[in-house]
């Protein structure tokens, strides 16, 4: 056994020693991960690139007008940047730009993928982030599940969260269908959205009802996220084909049928909610309007609203006013719209609200300060999930 | 909608343009991911680092004596290396060493994590890899599940594969407990080990029996893999505390009890198998010997065998000869040992085999050519999973 450890240790040391020179300079022999969150909540980034001409750090922790931030060359191969002010508690993504090329932080193992782009992450603890972290509370199960979509003619992958206690009970649960935006796929709400942590924590605190959360892949051209896709190891484009042409909306009952056949789901309007961000808000709007008696709650998070000219005659998008009438005049769902003051879609959402108000359709409006970013969507999920299935 | 697309497109183009200069040089306007697999199965790596003094490419595609390989500086900021010979079909991991620092490939989004280290991957299609890829076959479900471990005093995370058809049936299934090595955690067999793909494909071909595969975290000091651990965003060490001191083996019935309570598992010896690689082989050896009537099949994949001096009197490791006698003399399990000719643990395994032969304990031996690496362990899983539960 000692020998075994020696062999393994030797192999590991070989790997470790490669990074040792860089790490010594960066950490002065400490092994905290990058970046360094200082006592005053400023954040220090260090990047080792002795030969580089320019190194920037980029990320959503920087004020939007001040991205990316040029790092200072300290002369010993190390580039350094400390934020000018304390950084608010949040989950942040960042990367470096080294001689015009986006690079990950070699000293931070925590990485999330958005379609075909990787980002390092860091978290600043605080009131805002307390529900975004894995806590010692009862945990739901997160599953990667394949379902047959006859409408799209393919097996497709989705993620399903079942709340703590689901496995060894008989109870039926309500289902929230939670949709990602353009540039995301079935894992986006779990990584960037912290959906499992938010639900685990809110359910443990008694603030949200135990629910199943179904996170499908809203890109009808894709069977599954990259690496999980039988079509190969392609680098998908950000804007995938067929994302907003009615295909996904039309195929949605393939998902609800599968879920209600395979899970202990409440198969009634009051037991179904649908919500999504950006493109997923667009999907939620048109899916719920086309199936006016299906969902007891609808959440539009920074939604896109208007339909591309070429698809306006698609049966999914046609006659939306009549569909809203059917959805809203008798037993309307709990309809929730959230948007940030700085969101580029703010005016589009205002037009939707004006129409709803003119028609006297009931809805709840939630306004935050931010833009078209995950910071806001996590807040909306926290808000919305506490208001449904009560 | 057009406006929405314009807004999103502008935001994306801003991000994309950062990488454009580098990508143009690398790809000459093509967008294939790195590395480039040439028609003759040689592989070309290109890395853009105009200011670097040295750039190496490192990875298991290189012959063990020829790692890392120095790349050539082409003068325009681009470093290039093409393998001297065609590369055998396999799944490979690689990274770069730039001025003595390990770096990921900024143009390859496919990344796996081994404890606190990230690697890029690439795959060369062929006979060897056909079961390692996601195919259009019925897929099992992969779930992240938390269980209570009274013995370790914590909630812990494990991954569970349930075969296609499990969700909407009544049938009971056999269970393979599949354990990772030192430097791994509950996701290792799914990423590097391709366990879900191997099982999906072998079951679809009728070569393996449908089975549940349970992949626990074998590091008793950890509740869960990094990022999923309630103890915070720490960078775990490769050699975690308490990994081979008897704690994990002792806690193992917490896992089997949970599985047999929560899954439609065959609760008999013939319906239980245990297998693991390296440290997981060590765990499989001692767990199965301590519970001689629990497992109908045992697989040791490049196992560590001998116990560290300080733990020799631990009840788990004590009297192993008597325990083997109890396990092997009456209704012995199907006992399978696999190791590569170049594995540094080869002699340790030979000593175990000598003992088994002296005692006339039945076992099946499988020898491969390689060393103490995932290439071999994937082969062993393919072999072993076709021989059990028949």
Task: Say if the Cβ atoms of A307 and B1 lie within 8 Å.
Answer: yes
Residue A233: name the closest of B134, B187, B196, B139 by CA: B134
**Does residue A379 lie within any of the structural domains?**
yes
- The alpha-carbon gap from B99 to the nearest alpha carbon of chain A, in Å, equals 8
Same domain (yes/no): A107, A172? no
Looking at beta carbons, which residues of chain A come within 8 Å of B241?
A: none
Same domain (yes/no): A92, A180? no
- The alpha-carbon gap from B141 to the nearest alpha carbon of chain A, in Å, equals 5
Using CB atoms, pick whichever of A99, A109, A117 lies closest to residue B50: A99
In the numeric block, which tokens belong to residue A305? 């609203």
Q: What is the DSSP string of A118-161?
A: EEEEEE--SGGGTTTS--SS---EEEEEEEEETTTTEEEEEEEE
The 3-state DSSP class for residue B105 equals coil
pLDDT tens digits along B281-305? 999 999 999 999 999 999 999 999 9
Instruction: Count CB-CB contacts under 10 A for residue B42.
Output: 14
H or E, element range at A210: none
In the numeric block, which tokens belong to residue B57? 């490419």
What value does the mean pLDDT take over residues A185-189? 97
Q: Burial level of A306, CB count in 10 A (0-12/13-18/19+)?
A: middle
Q: Burial level of B149, CB count in 10 A (0-12/13-18/19+)?
A: buried
Residue of B nearest to A12 (CA): B238
Same domain (yes/no): B192, B104? no
* End residue of a domain, out of B71, B99, B129: B129
Please tell me the predicted confidence (pLDDT) of residue B3.
56
Cα–Cα dist A72/A82, whole Å: 10
Please tell me the predicted confidence (pLDDT) of residue B64.
80
- The alpha-carbon gap from A259 to the nearest alpha carbon of chain B, in Å, equals 11
Q: Burial level of A67, CB count in 10 A (0-12/13-18/19+)?
A: middle
**Does residue B3 lie within any of the structural domains?**
no
Using CB atoms, pick whichever of A22, A134, A155 lies closest to residue B136: A155
- The alpha-carbon gap from A144 to the nearest alpha carbon of chain B, in Å, equals 5
Using CB atoms, pick whichever of A139, A144, A167 lies closest to residue B141: A144
Same domain (yes/no): B337, B206? yes
Task: Say if the Cβ atoms of A32 and B238 lie within 8 Å.
Answer: no
Cα–Cα dist A133/B114, whole Å: 22
Looking at beta carbons, which residues of chain B come within 8 Å of A8?
A: 182-183, 239, 278
Task: Say if the Cβ atoms of A226 and B18 lie within 8 Å.
Answer: no
Cα–Cα dist A295/B222, whole Å: 41
Same domain (yes/no): B114, B229? no
Enter the DSSP assignment of B294: T
Looking at beta carbons, which residues of chain A come within 8 Å of B244?
A: 1
* End residue of a domain, out of B82, B104, B129: B129
Q: In this prediction, what percent of chain A has a pLDDT beyond 90?
A: 81
**Does residue A15 lie within any of the structural domains?**
no
Cα–Cα dist A239/A74, whole Å: 40
Same domain (yes/no): A74, A189? no
Ranges of beta strands (E only) in chain B are 36-37, 43-48, 55-59, 69-70, 72-73, 78-82, 91-98, 101-103, 111-114, 117-123, 141-149, 154-162, 175-179, 212-215, 272-277, 297-301, 334-340, 364-368
Ranges of beta strands (E only) in A152-250 are 154-162, 175-179, 212-215
**Does residue B320 lie within any of the structural domains?**
yes
Using CB atoms, pick whichever of A9, A18, A309 lies closest to residue B102: A18
CB B284 within 8 A of CB B248: no
Cα–Cα dist B290/B295, whole Å: 11
pLDDT tens digits along B331-360? 999 999 999 999 999 999 999 999 999 999
- The alpha-carbon gap from A367 to the nearest alpha carbon of chain B, in Å, equals 19
Same domain (yes/no): A89, A145? no
The number of folded domains in chain A is 2
Looking at beta carbons, which residues of chain A come within 8 Å of B306?
A: 1-4
Same domain (yes/no): B112, B158? no
pLDDT score of B30 more than 80: no
Task: Say if the Cβ atoms of A100 and B18 lie within 8 Å.
Answer: yes
What residue numbers bound the domain in which B200 lies? 141-387
What value does the mean pLDDT take over residues B162-187? 95
Please tell me the predicted confidence (pLDDT) of residue A20.
47
Task: Say if the Cβ atoms of B111 and A134 lie within 8 Å.
Answer: no
- The alpha-carbon gap from A124 to the nearest alpha carbon of chain B, in Å, equals 11
CATH code of the domain covering residue B34: 2.60.40.10
Same domain (yes/no): B308, B383? yes
pLDDT score of B126 more than 90: yes
Using CB atoms, pick whichever of A113, A139, A305 lies closest to residue B155: A139
Task: Say if the Cβ atoms of B106 and A103 lie within 8 Å.
Answer: yes
The 3-state DSSP class for residue A315 equals coil
**Does residue B5 lie within any of the structural domains?**
no
Interface test with B, best of A52, A64, A94, A100 (most B CBs within 10 A): A100
CB A290 within 8 A of CB A319: no
**Does residue A135 lie within any of the structural domains?**
no
Same domain (yes/no): A115, A255? no
In the numeric block, which tokens belong to residue A109? 């193992």
pLDDT tens digits along A318-363? 999 999 999 999 899 999 999 999 999 999 999 999 999 999 999 9
Task: Say if the Cβ atoms of A308 and B5 lie within 8 Å.
Answer: yes
Residue B94: name the closest of B134, B66, B121 by CA: B121
Same domain (yes/no): A333, A362? yes
**Does residue B214 lie within any of the structural domains?**
yes
CATH code of the domain covering residue A228: 3.40.50.1820
**Does residue B351 lie within any of the structural domains?**
yes
CB A220 within 8 A of CB A314: no
* End residue of a domain, out of B129, B163, B186: B129
Same domain (yes/no): B66, B170? no
Cα–Cα dist B267/B259, whole Å: 10
Using CB atoms, pick whichever of A101, A157, A226 lies closest to residue B22: A101
What value does the mean pLDDT take over residues A109-120? 89
Looking at beta carbons, which residues of chain A come within 8 Å of B136?
A: 155, 230
Phi and psi angles of residue A110, each rounded to the nearest 5 degrees, phi first = -90, 110
What mean pLDDT, rounded, does chain B reach? 91
In the numeric block, which tokens belong to residue A326? 């059917």
């Amino acid at each position: 056994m000692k020998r075994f450890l020696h062999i393994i240790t030797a192999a590991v040391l070989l790997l470790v020693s490669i990074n040792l020179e860089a790490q010594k300079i960066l950490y002065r022999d400490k092994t905290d991960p990058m970046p360094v969150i200082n006592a005053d909540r400023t954040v220090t980034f260090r990047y080792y690139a002795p030969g580089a001409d320019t190194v920037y750090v980029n990320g959503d922790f920087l004020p939007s007008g001040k991205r990316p931030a040029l790092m200072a060359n300290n002369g010993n191969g190390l580039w350094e940047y400390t934020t000018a002010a304390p950084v608010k508690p949040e989950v942040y993504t960042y990367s470096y730009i080294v001689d015009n090329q986006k690079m990950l932080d070699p000293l931070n193992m925590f990485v999330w993928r958005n379609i075909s782009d990787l980002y390092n992450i860091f978290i600043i603890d605080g009131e805002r982030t307390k529900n975004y972290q894995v806590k010692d509370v009862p945990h739901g199960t997160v599953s990667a599940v394949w379902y047959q979509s006859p409408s799209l003619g393919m097996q497709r992958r989705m993620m399903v969260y079942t709340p703590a206690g689901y496995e060894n009970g008989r109870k039926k649960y309500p289902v929230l269908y939670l949709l990602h935006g353009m540039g995301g796929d079935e894992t986006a709400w779990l990584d960037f959205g912290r959906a499992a942590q938010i639900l685990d924590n809110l359910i443990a605190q008694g603030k949200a009802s135990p629910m199943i959360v179904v996170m499908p892949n809203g890109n009808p051209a894709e069977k599954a996220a990259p690496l999980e896709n039988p079509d190969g190891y392609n680098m998908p484009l950000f804007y995938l084909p067929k994302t907003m042409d009615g295909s996904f909306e039309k195929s949605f009952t393939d998902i609800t049928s599968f879920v209600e056949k395979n899970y202990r789901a409440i198969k009634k309007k009051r037991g179904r909610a649908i919500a999504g961000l950006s493109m997923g808000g667009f999907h939620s709007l048109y899916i719920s309007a086309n199936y006016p008696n299906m969902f007891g709650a609808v959440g539009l998070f920074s939604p896109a609203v208007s339909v591309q000219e070429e698809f306006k005659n698609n049966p999914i998008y046609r006659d939306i006013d009549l569909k809203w009438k059917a959805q809203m005049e008798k037993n309307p769902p709990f309809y929730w719209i959230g948007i940030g003051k700085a969101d580029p879609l703010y005016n589009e959402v205002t037009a939707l609200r004006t129409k709803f108000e003119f028609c006297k359709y009931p809805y709840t409006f939630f306004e935050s300060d931010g833009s078209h970013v995950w910071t806001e969507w996590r807040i909306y999920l926290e808000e919305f999930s506490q208001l449904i299935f009560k």
